Copies of this chain bind each other. A is one copy, B any other.
């Protein structure tokens, strides 16, 4: 049994930018040598999240529209009155969407569905450099 850490570095545009990180997560898995266990992808920070979706531009737009409808960027947030960065909506979106997902590793592969990709969503209100953690425990 072992534990293995790798990182995905990327540059996002912010504003619910959705980036496919499946390939990078798989690279982390391959370099670990772990064949069976659990992979945790975690976003350090309070304005971005990780989930899975079919990485198709139509449904990506649908997800972004749904998030804008549910947690609008154009209403008043108390966070913005206290801090000048204007990204209260980003914080609320990230808290609701949560920072991580866990995926089983079976026979050296992630158990993702055929049309299921791992995505990073940056809810911040500006471009950001990000460093996402890929943590694996298993054997």
Contact = CB atoms under 8 A, between A and B. Distances in A.
A53 interface: yes
A50 to B, nearest CB: 9
A92 B59 contact: yes
Given A36-B5, A78-B58, A51 B102 contact: no
A34 to B, nearest CB: 9
Interface string A34-51: 001110101111100001
Given A2-B139, A92-B62, A40 B82 contact: no
Given A1-B2, A66-B70, A66-B71, 19 more contacts: A1-B139, A3-B37, A3-B105, A3-B139, A38-B137, A42-B102, A42-B104, A43-B113, A44-B116, A45-B113, A46-B52, A52-B94, A52-B99, A58-B79, A62-B91, A66-B92, A66-B96, A98-B101, A99-B103
Interface of A: 1-3, 5, 36-38, 40, 42-46, 51-54, 56-59, 61-63, 66-67, 70-71, 77-83, 88, 91-92, 94-106, 111-113, 115-116, 119, 133, 135, 137-139
